[in-house]
Amino acid sequence: MPASYSEEYKDLEEKLRYTFKDKKLLEQALTHKSYAMEKGVKSYETLEFLGDALVNLFVVDILVCEFPQAKEGELAPMKAFFVSEEFLHQLAHELELERYLLVGGKKGKFKVNVSILGDAFESLWGAIYMDAGRDTNLTRTLFENLYRERIVTMAKSSDYRKDYKTILQEITQKRWKERPTYRVISVSGPQHGKVFEVECSVKGVRAVAVGSSKKEAEQLSAKRVLELLQEL
């Protein structure tokens, strides 16, 4: 253990408002399998597995408490957004997790992508939970102190709804390990008022939508597919 061990994680612990009793656990939470294989140490995989479940629970708990009248069909897309790679990556970035992440290969060679940062964020919560002696309440309170307000504000402003393509992709990747594809079927209308017709499809579920730009038509077709998936 390097001498600077506790110093090294000080900033991160301050941001989390939690001090680890077992710094090794924190280190494991930040160890990608590429580094773990090289050094023969444990990676964050099991902590991520645990953290994934915890983050899901905390997010759902916040949403159910905040929107007691909402139906499952309304809560599901909100939840999908707040546990999505996109959103968790953002939270990981705010904690500057990329600074701490241990990855294999020559320095800088390994590309830390959105998915790895999101995973590390989850594993961090698994590690906190374990370090706190499996104290669910303590872990949940920490999570809520950091993120509850933001999640509720975003959920109320419906910001999370804007990006249907992201939400859809998260869902289909989880369910089938597949991404939706988008195809421009037609472009019509005059130069200044073009109409784009786009088809979104995944696993045999298809929907077509039109928009004044390719982007808009893609978003709307993703929205339709999301609706179809909810009916299934």
Question: Which residues are designated catalytic?
Answer: 52, 122
| Three-class SS state of 33 | helix
Residue nearest to Mn ion according to CB distances in the complex: 119
Residues 6+ apart with CB under 8 A from 41: 28, 31, 35
**118 vs 180, beta carbon nearer Mn ion:** 118
Binding pattern to Mn ion, positions 201-220, x when CB under 5 A? Answer: --------------------
Q: Closest Cα to residue 112, out of 96, 123, 121, 101?
A: 101
Other C-beta atoms lying within 10 Å of the C-beta of residue 231: 7
**122 vs 131, beta carbon nearer Mn ion:** 122
What is the C-alpha to C-alpha distance for residues 29 and 221, in angstroms, rounded to an integer?
A: 38
Q: Nearest approach, Cβ of 143 to Mn ion (angstroms)?
A: 16
Q: Nearest approach, Cβ of 122 to Mn ion (angstroms)?
A: 5
Count of residues touching Mn ion (by CB under 5 A)? 2
Q: Nearest approach, Cβ of 5 to Mn ion (angstroms)?
A: 26
- Token pair recorded at residue 106: 């020559």
**5 vs 49, beta carbon nearer Mn ion:** 49
Q: Are 59 and 135 in contact (CB under 8 A)?
A: no
Q: Are 201 and 210 in contact (CB under 8 A)?
A: no
**118 vs 198, beta carbon nearer Mn ion:** 118
Residues 6+ apart with CB under 8 A from 24: 1
Q: Nearest approach, Cβ of 78 to Mn ion (angstroms)?
A: 19
What is the C-alpha to C-alpha distance for residues 161 and 97, in angstroms, rounded to an integer?
A: 26
Q: Which of residues 113-172 bind Mn ion (CB under 5 A)?
A: 119, 122
Judged by CB under 5 A, which stretch of 112-120, 140-148, 164-172, 203-211 contacts Mn ion? 112-120
* Residues at the contact surface with Mn ion, assessed by CB under 5 A: 119, 122
